[in-house]
Structure 1
């Protein structure tokens, strides 16, 4: 009986200790996450403006902010740009990252060197990446246009031409973020049992059958996780757009975040911006739930 009491007492102490360790983290997360979410949701139903708040006027507007933003043609274009950008970048990053992971995993020598080289673009800050590409694609002194001129090929003002600006953003994002997909999928490939490959080769299976019946089924959850993370990250794209195009030309590269910055943050209209943030959150949650259901299956 005494032994049981000691065990139960130690279990209670362990539970108290774990609760004490978790509580500070929970409080920090609540302050940093829950409060801003509630703040954003509440003020999305008001005309909250930083300049107006200084004079003490914040009025409830009901769903006016939501109706204004959902009927705004610029916002609709920004949503379409964001969805299109997300689809293109996720597809190409998953494809390129998967090919890179298969290639490095197949190497008998030099895997460490190749891993380091392929990860370099992802390790660079986004501002640095944007500035590098802006210099390379400069219409005046960019190396890309100089190379095209040497081949007598017409040159472009890449970030100011409506036909090329969006494609350049997709290219730059794929160049920087495909290594992230490579890293996760390469780690997943390391856990695939070699015995399955050996058994498949003994049965006469070719490279394609091994890929589709052994490799992909073993890493499908990692593929779903990569797609989910890249979808969320691509959907909230802001920095590259703001640094390279500012949403132009003719709103052709404006994303939801860039729209909220231009028409909410810059004008201090936080009520309007909060409504847009809530709409964006709902869209991301819908996309995330789709990926999570696919991953569970």
Structure 2
């Protein structure tokens, strides 16, 4: 009976799996193949095989190295602060005895907004002439700041926006994890004289440590593909200070039609994301194995 049920499940899901496999494998092979060619979209000739020339040109390009460094730097800072802020909100709201539903709803609102809407909303607040932040500076007699066009502030403005939008996502997952922590552990620790910090470090963190790891892996994979906010707010500027790998690929594939060169950059990005995804898959596999055991 179990074998027949498994066979039936495989037969029913095979058409969808076949379509997903074809749609995934074909574009991947397409990109890998053209990454070794000088394929130019508007050229009528056949693409020539140039081996690793695209890859060597990429790492020789200072713009690409800057985009790669910006992406890594942004990912590390964004994930760190998103997890820190999300965990703080989860612990705080979980400790509140009244109006938890209202607080949860209000906290999750930024994550429910489309990234484009978020970028445009913050663009208005960062405006030089009528933006909220420059108006606040004006109240204290300070000069306005060109937030999104200054090398010293543009990167961190986008960082703040990303933290504001996705810290609620971290909050949601960690808040759900906190619901499974037995309350009698806190009560026993309180009876033994443990203060709030000791209960947090010795009960809360160990209990949700696996969930924190999973959240970190998910956010790293997603943050590494940052594009929409950068493209709307700064276009990678000023002086490439906010350029990311995805923005770099957009410049060379969509705007300049250099498919071969852009494909090489895409392969590099895909490899990095796959390495990060392997950590998530391995951790998820261990978790499922432990539950079955």
How far did residue 28 of structure 1 move?
2.3
Equivalent pairs, count: 286
**Aligned equivalents of 1:239, 1:42: Cα separation in 2:** 27
In the alignment, which residue of structure 1 is the partner of 2:12? Answer: 21
Matched, 1:278 2:278: no
**Aligned equivalents of 2:192, 2:25: Cα separation in 1:** 55
Matched, 1:40 2:31: yes
In the alignment, which residue of structure 2 is the partner of 1:239? Answer: 228
In the alignment, which residue of structure 1 is the partner of 2:181? Answer: 192
Could you report, residue by residue, the CA deviation over 1:250-279 in whole angstroms, capped at 9, with x for unpaired residues? 000000110111122211111111110111
Unmatched 5+ stretches in structure 2: 288-293
The TM-score, its normalising length taken from structure 1, stands at: 0.92
**Aligned equivalents of 1:31, 1:217: Cα separation in 2:** 42
**Aligned equivalents of 1:218, 1:235: Cα separation in 2:** 28
SS at match of 1:22: helix
**Retained in 1: the 8 A contact 2:122–2:161?**
yes
**Retained in 1: the 8 A contact 2:42–2:257?**
yes
**Aligned equivalents of 2:277, 2:17: Cα separation in 1:** 23
RMSD (Å) for aligned C-alpha atoms: 1.7
In the alignment, which residue of structure 2 is the partner of 1:147? Answer: 136
**Aligned equivalents of 1:141, 1:218: Cα separation in 2:** 47
Matched, 1:81 2:64: no
Matched, 1:138 2:140: no
**Aligned equivalents of 1:220, 1:12: Cα separation in 2:** 37
How far did residue 95 of structure 1 move?
0.4
Matched, 1:62 2:51: yes
Structure 1 range deviating more: 235-244 or 29-38: 29-38
How far did residue 22 of structure 1 move?
2.0
Could you report, residue by residue, the CA deviation over 1:179-215 in whole angstroms, capped at 9, with x for unpaired residues? 0000000000001111221222222221112111111
Could you report, residue by residue, the CA deviation over 1:94-122 in whole angstroms, capped at 9, with x for unpaired residues? 00000000011011110100001011111
In the alignment, which residue of structure 2 is the partner of 1:5? Answer: none
How far did residue 56 of structure 1 move?
4.3
Unmatched 5+ stretches in structure 1: 1-9
**Aligned equivalents of 1:156, 1:293: Cα separation in 2:** 46
How far did residue 292 of structure 1 move?
6.1
Could you report, residue by residue, the CA deviation over 1:79-106 in whole angstroms, capped at 9, with x for unpaired residues? 1100110011001100000000001101
Which structure's CA Rg is the greater one? 1
**Aligned equivalents of 2:244, 2:73: Cα separation in 1:** 10
How far did residue 290 of structure 1 move?
5.1
Cα separation, partners in 2 of 1:162 and 1:221, compared to 1, 3 Å: same
The TM-score, its normalising length taken from structure 2, stands at: 0.93
**Aligned equivalents of 2:198, 2:283: Cα separation in 1:** 23
How far did residue 293 of structure 1 move?
6.3
**Retained in 1: the 8 A contact 2:252–2:259?**
no
Instruction: Find 1:255's aligned residue among 220, 244, 247.
Output: 244
